[in-house]
A and B are shown apart, each in its own frame.
Chain A
Amino acid sequence: MDALYGLLIAPFADFAFMQRALLGALMLSLGACPVGVFLMLRRMSLSGDAMAHAILPGAAAGFLLYGLEILPMTVGGLVAGIVVALGAGAVSRFTIQREDASMAAFYLISLAIGVLMVSLKGSSVDLMHVLFGTVLALNDEALALIGGIVVVTLAALAVFWRALVADCLDPLFLRSVSRMGGPAHFVFLGLVVLNLVGGFQALGTLLSVGLMILPAAGARFWTSRVGPMCVVAVAIGFASCVAGLLLSYHLSLPSGPAIILSAGTVYLASILFGTRGALRNRIVPHRHRTA
């Protein structure tokens, strides 16, 4: 019992930074995992990655103008992300180009602007350290920001739930019965940007996408209804955060990668053992209903 306590509880009980890391990571999962489910259902999983890159110049601009302040960096990231999302959306709506190409084009432009700004500033302080927080160094401001983002995300999901689900499954149907189609799409893109901005305070842009996509992709193998899928994704996210932080504590691993690799392990296990559309169905023969 004592050994179990030392293994699982003591790291969090003894160190305040572990409690903050856990709180921040759990809150992030609560907001980002359901958003990830919708991202995956819309076949936009890779767009999440693109958006994460698109946020960089805004955050860099905030840093260069105001230093290491959370608010300007967050606002900058939001503005850059929303400009890219709206730009890509507008091009795909009003020209013959599809969203994947326009999204790729806009995020590359945005990324190049970011690298240009960082280089022009002249200082070669490694921006990776400044821009990309570590989950072990979450201060009150960062926790408050992440908390706010979670509240906004969950509220928006509750309000737009039916429209979002319909927009995922049959956007033409939604447009024919309601005027919510356009707004729902942009609200959703806004949520993606918001959660990525919250995530990069804790995990860095690339890894915050991981916490969004991997639990959602794993949850897909366990259920086919959207609501339960979100719940399973959040559960996988929670488990990955706890496991990742404990691995980081006991095995001296960097915490960000440890969390994402835990989620990756759950994903791989879900492929093998999941109950829906997974490998198991190929091995265990279906029992067809007979009349």
Chain B
Amino acid sequence: MLPSFRRALAMSVITLSVIAAAPAIAEPLKVVASFTVIADFAKNVGGDRIALTTIVGPNGDAHVYEPKPADAVAMAKADVVLVNGLHFEGFLRRLVEASATGAQIVELTKGVKTVEFKPEFAEAEDDHAADGEADHAEHGHDHGVIDPHAFQSVANAKIYVKNIADAFCAADAAGCDDYRANAAAYTRKLDALDGNVRAAIGAIPAQKRVVITSHDAFGYFEHEYGLTFLAPQGISTDSEPSAADVARLVAQIRQDKAAAIFVENITNPRLIEQIAAETGIKVGGALYSDALSGPDGPASTYIDMMRNNIAQIKGAILGS
């Protein structure tokens, strides 16, 4: 009952707003980004030529986000909708249907070489699949076996940026040269960032390159830069940990296989603090995984996020 009501509400708002909106000349390209990381890329590529709306704001969890009527309105009016894809945004399919948008939906992970979740996490996914069809439909925001957090590797971020430039050119041919130039300039910054990350990892002794976070969102980072991440919570932020998961982690830390433990910006820190207290391992600062911080935070842009994460990881490992 609720979803259909919400949809009806959204539709009525959209109908009214379409009547209200008068066609204007030389308007900026209306772009909707599904979450903050993509919004930051779009800002860098589009510059002043786009009017940007972000659906899931700073520190928000896109896995479990509930869309509001305003989101449907923004989507219905949009020229281009930028999304991550790979089932990262659980709310997306419903929102696209509800808003009846005519905009082009661009999946930015197109062309990314995907990485699967590690076996220990994929196993949990099998359990989910065994729960049956009805359960699966209810948990529509669960990840597949493919890890969707592709933007955690800078090489993939460059693919995102290229896809964004292509999409903007297709929607607004007049600005194409600007978009390409912006994208090229930003890609150079990303190359520099990639070098920084590699240099920082290189400074950590190889046997100490194991850290623990509360949500397994760093598969691409691990794959690209050779740092191992362990997580008590598994693949999606909505699963409750079992005693066995936590015990396995504690045992791993005790065998001195992990050097630092981190709290992410979107999950409950208590469990991590508890594990740290039990093992005497050092708790690092906040890592940003699925969302950027607000403008005053340490990770207000993608580049800042990656710099913050790598500085925190390096500091915690070398400090312990």
Interface residues, chain A, CB within 8 Å of chain B?
11, 14-18, 20-21, 68, 119, 122-126, 128-130, 133-134, 136-139, 245, 248-258
Question: Given A123-B57, A125-B61, A126-B64: A21 and B243 within 8 A (CB)?
Answer: yes
- Total interface residues in chain B, CB < 8 Å: 34
Beta-carbon contact of B268 and A130 below 8 Å = yes
Give CA–CA (A50, B70) in the complex, Å.
32
Whether A124 contacts B271 by the Cβ 8 Å rule is no
Q: Which residue of chain B has its CB nearest to the CB of A247?
A: B243
Question: Would you give the shortest CB distance from A112 to chain B, in whole angstroms?
Answer: 13
Chain B residues in the interface with A (C-beta under 8 A): 56-61, 63-66, 68, 237-247, 250, 266-271, 273-275, 277-278
Supposing A123-B57, A124-B57, A134-B271 touch, asked if A129 and B237 sit within 8 A by C-beta, the answer is yes
Partner of A122 from B57, B240, B244, B247 at Cβ < 8 Å: B57
The answer to whether A124 and B65 touch across the interface, beta carbons within 8 angstroms, is yes
The total of Cβ contacts below 8 Å across the A-B interface reads 100
Cβ-closest chain A residue relative to B248: A252
Q: Is the CB of A11 within 8 A of B247?
A: yes
Find out whether the CB atom of B242 lies under 8 angstroms from the CB atom of A253: yes
Across the interface, which residues of B come within 8 angstroms of A18, CB to CB?
243, 247
Q: Which residue of A122, A126, A255 contacts B243 across the interface (Cβ within 8 Å)?
A: A255
Tell whether A126 pairs with B237 under 8 Å between CB atoms, given A15-B247, A18-B247, A139-B274.
Answer: yes
Residues of B within 8 A of A11 (CB): 243, 247
- Evaluate contact between A256 and B240: CB separation under 8 angstroms: yes
- B58 CB to nearest chain A CB (Å): 8
Q: Which single residue of chain A is at the shortest CB-CB distance from B273?
A: A139
A20 vs B253: C-alpha distance when bound (angstroms): 19
CB distance from B154 to the nearest CB of A (A): 26
Q: A17-B250, A254-B240 are in contact. List 20 more A-B contacts (CB 8 A).
A: A14-B247, A15-B278, A16-B278, A17-B247, A18-B243, A124-B65, A125-B60, A125-B266, A129-B268, A130-B268, A133-B270, A134-B268, A136-B241, A137-B268, A139-B270, A248-B243, A248-B244, A250-B244, A252-B242, A258-B242
Name 30 interchain pairs, CB-CB below 8 A, sorted by A.
Answer: A11-B247, A14-B247, A16-B277, A17-B243, A17-B275, A122-B57, A123-B57, A123-B60, A124-B57, A124-B61, A125-B61, A125-B266, A126-B64, A126-B238, A129-B237, A133-B268, A134-B240, A134-B270, A134-B271, A136-B271, A138-B274, A139-B274, A245-B243, A248-B242, A249-B242, A249-B244, A253-B242, A255-B241, A255-B242, A257-B240
Interface of B is mostly: loop
Q: Which of A130, A134, A254 has the most CB of B within 10 A?
A: A134
Do A17 and B274 touch across chains, with their CB atoms under 8 A apart?
A: yes
- A134 contacts B61, CB within 8 Å? no
Taking CB atoms, residues of chain B closer than 8 Å to A17 are 243, 246-247, 250, 274-275, 278
Residue from the set A122, A126, A130, A138 with the largest chain B CB neighbour count within 10 Å: A126
With both chains docked as a complex, state the minimum distance between the C-beta of A9 and any C-beta of chain B, in angstroms.
14
* Chain A residue nearest to B272 in the complex (CB): A137
Task: Determine if B61 and A126 form an interchain contact, defined as CB atoms under 8 angstroms apart.
Answer: yes
Q: How far is the CA of A134 from the CA of B267 in the complex (A)?
A: 13
Complex Cα–Cα for A122 and B236 (A) = 21
- For the complex, give the distance between the alpha carbons of A18 and B251 in Å: 13
B230 CB to closest chain A CB (Å) equals 16
Residue of A at shortest CB range from B232?
A136
A144 to B273, CA, bound (A): 17
Q: How far is the CA of A137 from the CA of B273 in the complex (A)?
A: 8
Closest to B64 in A: A126
Closest Cβ of chain A to B120, distance in Å, is 11
Question: Residue on A with the closest CB to B238?
Answer: A126
- Contacting residues, chain A, for B267 (C-beta < 8 A): 129
Chain A residues contacting B59 (CB-CB under 8 Å) are 123, 125
Chain A residues with Cβ under 8 A from B242's Cβ?
248-249, 251-255, 258
Bound complex: CA of A115 vs CA of B152, how far in Å? Answer: 32
* Chain A contacts for B240, CB-based, 8 A: 134, 254-257
Question: Using Cβ atoms and an 8 Å threshold, which residues of chain A touch B239?
Answer: 254
Contacts of A15 in B (CB 8 A): 246-247, 250, 278
Give CA–CA (A68, B237) in the complex, Å: 18
In the bound assembly, the distance between CA atoms of A104 and B271 in angstroms comes to: 34
User: Cα distance A139–B273 when bound, in Å?
Assistant: 8
A123 to chain B, nearest CB (A): 6
Which residues in A have their C-beta under 8 angstroms from that of B250?
15, 17
Contact A136 B65 (CB under 8 A): no
Residues of B within 8 A of A122 (CB): 57
Chain A residues positioned under 8 Å from B266 (CB to CB): 125-126
Which are the 7 A-B pairs with shortest beta-carbon distances?
A254-B240, A248-B243, A137-B270, A252-B244, A249-B243, A137-B271, A129-B268
* Bound Cα distance A252, B68 (Å): 36
Q: Which residue of A lies closest to B56 (CB)?
A: A124
CB distance from B35 to the nearest CB of A (A): 10
Tell me, in angstroms, the Cα distance from A250 to B243 when the chains sit together.
8
A248: B residues at CB distance < 8 A = 242-244
Shortest beta-carbon distance from B283 to chain A in Å: 13
Contact of B245 among A68, A130, A252, A256 (CB under 8 A): A252
Q: How far is the CA of A248 from the CA of B240 in the complex (A)?
A: 11
* B-side contacts of A138, CB under 8 Å: 274
- Chain B residues with CB under 8 Å of A249's CB are 242-244, 247
Complex Cα spacing A63 to B19, Å: 41
For B61, the chain A residues whose CB sits under 8 A away are 124-126
* Chain B, Cβ-Cβ closest to A248: B243
